[in-house]
Amino acid sequence: MRYRAVLLDLDNTLYDYNACYAAGNDAVFPWLEGVTGRTRAELEPVYREAKRRNHVALAGTAASHNRLLYYQRLAELLGLKVFGHADTMLGLFWEAFLARMEPFPGACELLRAVRPAGICLVTDMTVEIQYRKIERLGIGSLIDTLVTSEEAGREKPHPWPFTLALSKLGARPDEACMAGDDFTKDAEGPLLAGIDAYWVRQRASQHEPMFAHPRMRIVHDLVELKDALLAD
């Protein structure tokens, strides 16, 4: 393998974020139905509005993904006391989310195979919950470091998260690659920073690539990604 630094996304790249997210919501909404007397069908639009307001107010920052802020806004919109409601929803969500987590097939094998290079997870969201996810997946010993948008001050595809990761690993852009499931954040972003990109298109529902690039490859699972990295 020619790369000295391998940068990897976490959510929906190394494990199924969508399934875990659904499990978290399945824990929160029944509890909230009991508290409010409203149905899930009535509550979900209010939750989406709370989330939208948070994203608008905090666009481009890690805080825009802070789930406690989502639930705080939700409690406010529902006329509930924040304390005792927002924090309870947060606990229910993450307990169910983390319990559902398991690595995608080939994830641990990928990390072991590219271990001669430095490995950094480059992810949006806040650092505390990403540490908990890494612990739950049991991959902490297989990676060197982590960069979140909270630390970098900008979200992918801004170059700052990628350049910070390279700085931590002591590598140049031409010595590194980035792999992830989000075309804009994990392929277009690193290419603009001079880093080779591997778009991990694991879900059939994902769109076609927005463009072709000589330094971008498309793979369809983590086994294929491992083989591609070792062959390069």
- Give the sign of the dihedral formed by CA 160, CA 165, CA 171, CA 177: negative
> From the candidates 11, 124, 182, 196, which is the catalytic residue?
11
- 219 Cβ neighbours under 8 A, 6+ residues apart: 179, 198, 199, 200, 201, 225, 228
| Residue with the two structure tokens 């990109």 | 197
Torsion over CA of 26, 28, 31 and 35, rounded to 10 degrees?
A: -140
In angstroms, the CA 206 to CA 225 distance is 17
Is residue 9 a contact partner of residue 122, using CB atoms and an 8 Å limit?
yes
* 11 is an active site residue: yes
Q: Which of 9, 16, 181, 186 is catalytic?
A: 9
Residue 143 backbone dihedrals phi, psi, to 5 degrees: -125, 160
Give, in order, the Cα–Cα distances in Å from 218 to each of 92, 133, 174, 194.
Answer: 37, 26, 19, 17
Catalytic residues: 9, 11
